[in-house]
Amino acid sequence: MHAALSLALSTLITLSGLAASVPATAVTVQPSPATTTSDVSFKASDGVTIYGKYYRAASPHALIVLFHQAGSSKDEYKTIAPRLAAAGYSALAIDQRSGGELFGPNQTVQALGHSADYLDAKPDLEAALSFAKKQKLPIILWGSSYSASLTVVVAAEHVNQISAIAVFSPGEYFDASPSMIRSAASKVTVPFYVTSAKDAGEIAAAKAILAASPAKLKVQYVPTTGGVHGSSTLIASRDPQGAEDNWKAILGFLGQLPL
């Protein structure tokens, strides 16, 4: 990558007005005793049972629906979801049929007996959205790696049902079309947050996807320290140098939403 482009990308931490910092209390909150959790399950459109965990905030601003990366499970969010709940956002983390045991058992994959292809997990995301709609809260879709890309596709098809999306390390991961995710992003009009690892290829892919969206509030956070692939970038044990800066960025974005 040319030096000038690299410098431009490294300084592209905020777009459309994301504050360079947020109040300290927004990034140092701890899980609240008022947060409750419960195991949930529901059917996808093809009859597959999707398993998940619901983290209920005491007085939620919104419900964030959390989708994991390849080889992973809902336990990718076992430290992330409680922190979101403590900040006032209920969270639903699911086991997609394309996943594994990177962070813990994937019940959906276990029930199927095998992991499916990435695109086969799209009905799982849609089923989670249907479950979320029944909770009568504003809905934010959140994806990690391959599910970040699927989140853009689902958001494009259900844009009137959601309030925002946040995607961690999206890319054109599907062979069906080399521009499938950018095409979907062109239909996403709700506030749109994107971030990635501190990797030139990931940063460029995220920038291209975000640029395709006509949303008025668009934010790309580019890590200057640390930064790892997917939602793992918010886990201190995975990203000890960059996790807190990533938390500051995503909570700053969430704080701007007109919920």
Domains delineated in the chain: 3-256 (3.40.50.1820)
Widest distance between CA atoms in the chain = 51
Closest to 67 (Cα-Cα) out of 91, 87, 86, 93? 93
Q: Give residue 35's pLDDT.
A: 79
Q: Give residue 149's pLDDT.
A: 98
Separation between Cα atoms, residue 243 and residue 246, nearest integer Å: 5
User: Residue-wise over 66-95: b if at least 16 C-beta within 10 A, else e?
Assistant: bbbbbbbbbbbbbbbbbbbbbbbbbbbbbb
Average confidence (pLDDT) over 5-26: 36
For residue 185, give both structure tokens: 């992003």
User: Is residue 115's pLDDT more than 70?
Assistant: yes
Q: Give residue 5's pLDDT.
A: 33
Residue partners of 251: CB distance under 8 A and separation at least 6: 22, 26, 27, 87
**List of long-range contacts for 162-165, beta carbons under 8 Å, 24+ apart:** 162/129, 162/190, 163/62, 163/138, 163/139, 163/190, 163/191, 163/257, 163/259, 164/140, 164/190, 164/191, 164/192, 164/193, 164/253, 164/254, 164/257, 165/140, 165/141, 165/190, 165/191, 165/192, 165/193
Looking at every residue in the chain, the average pLDDT score rounds to 89
For residue 203, give both structure tokens: 């940063």
- Higher pLDDT pick, 93 / 30: 93
Confidence of residue 34 (pLDDT cuts 50, 70, 90): low
168 three-class SS: strand
Separation between Cα atoms, residue 251 and residue 25, nearest integer Å: 10
Phi and psi, residue 36, nearest 5°: -120, 150
Q: Give residue 15's pLDDT.
A: 40
Q: Residue 88 is which amino acid?
A: G
Q: Give residue 176's pLDDT.
A: 76
Q: Which helix (H) or strand (E) holds 210?
A: helix 200-212
Confidence of residue 258 (pLDDT cuts 50, 70, 90): very high
| C-alpha distances out from residue 13 to 177, 194, 196, 214, 233, Å | 29, 10, 11, 19, 15
Residue partners of 156: CB distance under 8 A and separation at least 6: 184, 185, 186, 187, 188
Separation between Cα atoms, residue 35 and residue 58, nearest integer Å: 6
The pLDDT tens digits for 178-214 are: 899 999 999 999 999 999 999 999 999 999 999 999 9
Whether 104 contacts 97, CB under 8 Å? no
User: Is residue 162's pLDDT more than 50?
Assistant: yes
User: Is residue 7's pLDDT more than 80?
Assistant: no
The pLDDT tens digits for 59-114 are: 999 999 999 999 999 999 999 999 999 999 999 999 999 999 999 999 999 999 99
The pLDDT tens digits for 127-157 are: 999 999 999 999 999 999 999 999 999 999 9
The pLDDT tens digits for 207-257 are: 999 999 999 999 999 999 999 999 999 999 999 999 999 999 999 999 999
Q: Give residue 33's pLDDT.
A: 52
Q: What is the pTM of this model?
A: 0.87
DSSP 90-101: EEEEEE-SS--S
